[in-house]
Amino acid sequence: MSKTNANYNQLISKLDEFIRKYYINQFIRGALYTTALLVGLFLVYVLMEHLFYFSSTVRKFLFFSWLGIAGLSLFGWVFKPLLNYFSLGKIISHKEAAQIIGTHFHEVKDKLTNILQLKEQADKDASALVLAGIDQKTVELNPVPFKSAIDLSANRKYFKYALPPLLLMLLIFLAAPSIITDSTERIIQNNREFERPAPFQFEVVNTELSAMQFDNFELEVKAVGDVQPAEVYIDKSGIQYRMRKNSEGNFTYRINNIQSDLSFSLVSGPVRSKSYQIEVIRKPRMVDMVIDMDFPSYTGRSSSTLTNIGDVTVPQGTEINFTFYTESTQSVELVFGGEEEPIEAEQRRPQHFEYSRVLMSSKPYKLYVSGEGLSRVDSVGFTINVIPDRYPIISVEEFQDKDDEKLRFFAGEAADDYGLREISFHYQIIREGGREEPMEKILIDNPGKQNATFVYNWDIQPLGLKAGDQVSYFFEAADNDAINGSKRSRTGLMTYRIMSLEEMREIAQENTESIKENLDESVSESSQLQEEIRQMQEKLLNQENMDWQDRRDLEQLLDKKEELQKMVDEAREKMRENLQNEENHMDMDPEIAEKQQRLQELFDQMADDEMKSIMDQIRDLLDELTREEAIDMLRDMEISEQRMEQNLDRMKELFNSLQVEKQMAEARQKLEELAEQLDELSEETRSGEGDQEDLLNQQQEITDAFEQLKEDLEKLRQDNQNLERPHNLGNQEQLEEQISNDLNESSDQLQDGDNEGASDSQEGAGEKMREMAQGMQSSMQGGQMAQMQEDMESLRKLLDNLISISYDQEDLVIDFNRTSINTPRYIELMREQFKINNDFKVVEDSLVALSKRVLQLETFIMDKVSDIKRHMGRSVEHLEERQKNQASDDQRRVMTYVNDLALMLSETMEQMQQQMADMMPGSQMCQNPGEGESGEGEVPVDKITEGQEGIGEEMKRMQDGQGQGEEGSAEEFARMAQEQAALRRMMEQLRQQRGEQGLGTEELQEIIDKMNEIEKDLVNRRLNSELLERQQDIITRLLRAEQADRQRELDDKRRGEVARERSREFPPELEEYLRQREAEINFYRSVSPGLSPYYQSLVDEYYRSLRSN
């Protein structure tokens, strides 16, 4: 057993030796591999560095990659076999060694492996048979030299890998050692930058490669060597930038806004410098600036925040909160304009600073930041624009009522940048003489918003202004400024002044003279125009067609007519101006005031609408007008112009006559005033209390005034004599001389100191003045009464003539209808028609003459005369052409117009009768029932009903007579028509009174319309059942009106009288202005852009300026 173990151990020992030799062999082979690899790689790296002069990074890679490869190869090929040789680490097992040996020795083959396996089995089962087998096999293998299985000399073949690199390195080292040494040094010192040897080198001139953050750095480089480069580039992060060449060999490059450390190298062709680095010094800086703005509450603006915006615009009184976010900063300072000491912002936390301030005015300011060791290294300037609360803006448009100059309408608008507190109206009265009354204020609105519009109407009448007084007025807007207090803006001062009595008299005199001149010139122009129209008609009658010149002549006629109308309009406006001044501010005789008003109405009625229509037609058709059409229109123009001339002539005469009456009334008034002054002067003179010189001056003033009055009276008498029918002014010359003598005597007595005698003379002169005034009034009234009676008699005759003409025309129509056109009777009837025409010509002349004296004659009466003349002329033309039907139509129209004219004249005569009754002394019976002395009482409806029932009964009686074959006479129809007209006028008066009281007038108007229809039927002698039904309907309506009146009287007793304010209608100009302004506002709203409040205010101001322009 022991012998077997010894043999086996010997075998294992031989295996261990084999293993050690096995690893020796690996070591030798690994050393050769490692030598070949490392030397070869070393030569490659060295030669590459020599050729390319790698950068530090590449050299680092070369160095560390060689070390890495060397380490791996040494460990794997050298150190590991050595460790295994010393049985360190994982080595091959005995079985693996046996397999290697078995492969080398054929005689061994698997025997050695079997021994090892049997040994393992013997260790488990110590069988003698197994042990014997082990021993036997061991003995057999003992002679085999296991170590010879490894031939160390076989490694010579690996020298072919190691020797060439070594020989090459030795050769290079012997031939050019610097290639190896320098390159090796650069690879080993890979942190340094090495320059390739060149004909020149780069030298950085800057003493320090450092710069302040965000500053600019100027790099200066100099090339030193035998050769100077033409261009030099700076390499930053792999990007090359060309440097600027200053002089031979000197180059510069500006690095702008340097923010962090910067590495760079210099390059020129193949030459590259080592790497340089510029060190950046951290600079304190502002990263963000936040401004919180807290606006005053009255502005209505919510708080706002701005980021990195230093220039701000804010309202006055805004609190601004600054918040600064910084880097590398220890303090932030603010310096405001006008303040010497800086303000340091409070540091709330690191790199966070705050400051707050309320601003009342605009200020520039600067921000300074400081860091460690760096004081105020940077600053920035801004401006805070503080907008003071602006004054409010207010504008107003003034409009005057077309019917009442004292009623003013205002439309305005006001605006403020933040809000309006109130809009008010102010006025102050300045009495004649300069006395100022306290300013009055009327609050119009409290808008409470930025923009407001308002409409206000103001009646000046209640102020009680008199001649010479003035009222100044304006509108005022107040804003809501809570910082400086409410500010106010006013519109321009507007004034309304009533002229003094003296100014009014001067203007009235100027207007009167202008009216006279216009009327004289108008009459002359009208006459000349008629002549030109007749000449134009004759010219057209003598030619077949109209040529271009005829049309131009016709156009010139139209232009002349328009000029004539302008003169008439100018006279009418001047008359209206006089009338308004006298009615509003001067005490006038009521009778003269009524005549002036009537004259103005007549003037207004002169607007010839028919003539204007004819002129418009001619102008519209001037180029297409035929000769016949032109002749017809010229004929109408001639008739219209004749009427115009008659009206102008009438207006001229009436105006001059009224001026005489007016001046006579003014003279009487002046005499009364002078008499009052003399009475006062007489008392003062008799008392002896006054200064003698002052008494003489007063006496002289009265004397001079009377002498001026005498001159005015003399001129008045001359004007009166120029009238066609002068007034009876009486003979006052003797009294005038007596008064002058008394005044002169009084002056002499005052100079002599005889105050008692002077007082008596003054009293005597005053009494004579009153006597003179009374005599003038009596003479004027007596003359007017006589003239009115004469005029009424003329009217009666005219009425009789018109009725006669109507009858004759009616009979003639019947005769023409019965007569053939080819009989001698037809010629006789034509002569009768000419006679009727001539008879009417007499009536026309009389009526024209009467119209110049009687104001009651309406202008449309003369228009009716023109209509009668037109149809009379046409009827004659048709009769001459044997056109009976057309002639009959014109004749019937003549009858209708003559009856209408008769009815109008009858109404005029009634008015004259009423006027005469009013002028007569004592009480007179009122024609209009229910009308008091003042003529202001309301007409009772029951009286009208009674009158209407009486007419109805008369109609029924006449209708019954027609059933029996009895035709009503023309006189009966005319009388009933006259009565119906009187009732209609009473109804019109009642309607007007009800309208002024604010009561309903629709029912009354319907009654008046039906009365008009009945009146026309009676004038035209139409009596039928329809007329009677209409008559009954009127009575029914009148009864309902009576019942309503009784109910109203009961209600009035219960409630009493309730005052009603007169409704005011806006003038059309104001309504148009309001519409336009509303349209503008709607437009602005529809396109309103989103703007900041400041710019929105500028836009609003621009819009307002456009509108005001």
- Are 315 and 433 part of one and the same domain? no
Does a structural domain hold residue 844? yes
- Are 241 and 98 part of one and the same domain? no
Number of domains within the chain: 7
pLDDT for 136: 58
Give per-residue pLDDT as tens, 485-536.
Answer: 888 999 999 998 887 777 777 777 777 777 777 777 777 888 888 888 888 8
Query: Closest Cα to residue 986, out of 1037, 1021, 937?
Result: 937
Does a structural domain hold residue 1028? yes
Q: Give the structural domain span for 636.
A: 500-663
Does a structural domain hold residue 190? no
- Are 470 and 528 part of one and the same domain? no
656 touches 722 (CB < 8 A): yes
Q: Given a cut of 70, is residue 971 above it in pLDDT? A: no
Q: Given a cut of 50, is residue 1088 above it in pLDDT? A: no
pLDDT for 1086: 47
When pLDDT is averaged across residues 303-317 and rounded to a whole number, the result is 90
- Within 10 angstroms of residue 517's Cβ, the number of other Cβ atoms is 12
| CA gap 284, 214 in Å, rounded | 10
| CA gap 862, 847 in Å, rounded | 8
Q: What is the DSSP string of 780-831?
A: HHHHHHHHHHHHHHHHHHHHHHHHHHHHHHHHHHHHHHHS-TTSHHHHHHHH
SS3 361: coil
Last residue of a domain, one of 881, 900, 927: 927
Looking only at the bridges linking them, the beta strands covering 233-236 and 262-268 are antiparallel
Q: Please work out, in degrees rounded to the nearest 5, the angle formed at the alpha carbon of residue 290 by the alpha carbons of 287 and 292.
A: 170
- Are 971 and 1089 part of one and the same domain? no
When pLDDT is cut at 50, 70 and 90, the band that residue 301 belongs to is confident
- Are 788 and 917 part of one and the same domain? yes
Task: Please provide the size of the chain in residues.
Answer: 1109
Last residue of a domain, one of 370, 387, 404: 387
- Are 903 and 959 part of one and the same domain? no
- Are 539 and 652 part of one and the same domain? yes
- Are 612 and 529 part of one and the same domain? yes
Does a structural domain hold residue 628? yes
Does a structural domain hold residue 414? yes
Supply the CATH number for residue 275's domain. 2.60.40.10
Q: Which helix (H) or strand (E) holds 926?
A: none
Give per-residue pLDDT as tens, 167-219.
Answer: 888 888 888 887 888 888 888 888 887 766 667 788 888 888 888 888 889 99
Give per-residue pLDDT as tens, 263-273.
Answer: 999 898 878 88
250 touches 220 (CB < 8 A): yes
- Are 1021 and 908 part of one and the same domain? no
When pLDDT is averaged across residues 847-852 and rounded to a whole number, the result is 75
Q: To the nearest whole percent, how much of the chain has pLDDT over 70?
A: 80
pLDDT for 666: 81
Q: Which helix (H) or strand (E) holds 394?
A: strand 393-400
User: Which residue type, as a one-letter code, is found at position 994?
Assistant: R
Look up residue 1109 and give its DSSP letter: -
When pLDDT is cut at 50, 70 and 90, the band that residue 884 belongs to is confident
| CA gap 580, 458 in Å, rounded | 19
- Are 587 and 547 part of one and the same domain? yes
Q: Given a cut of 50, is residue 1063 above it in pLDDT? A: no
Does a structural domain hold residue 517? yes
Look up residue 79 and give its DSSP letter: I
Does a structural domain hold residue 1090? yes
| CA gap 963, 973 in Å, rounded | 17
317 touches 282 (CB < 8 A): no
Supply the CATH number for residue 916's domain. 1.20.120
| CA gap 146, 108 in Å, rounded | 10
Does a structural domain hold residue 332? yes
Both ends of the chain: CA-CA distance in Å? 142
- Are 659 and 520 part of one and the same domain? yes
Last residue of a domain, one of 904, 927, 950: 927
Structure tokens at 484: 């400086």
When pLDDT is cut at 50, 70 and 90, the band that residue 118 belongs to is low
Average pLDDT over the chain, rounded to an integer: 78
Q: Given a cut of 90, is residue 773 above it in pLDDT? A: no
Torsion of CA 821, 827, 829, 835, to 10 degrees: 140
When pLDDT is cut at 50, 70 and 90, the band that residue 988 belongs to is confident
- Are 796 and 871 part of one and the same domain? yes
Packing angle of the helix pair 755-818, 692-721 (nearest 10 deg): 20
When pLDDT is cut at 50, 70 and 90, the band that residue 1083 belongs to is low
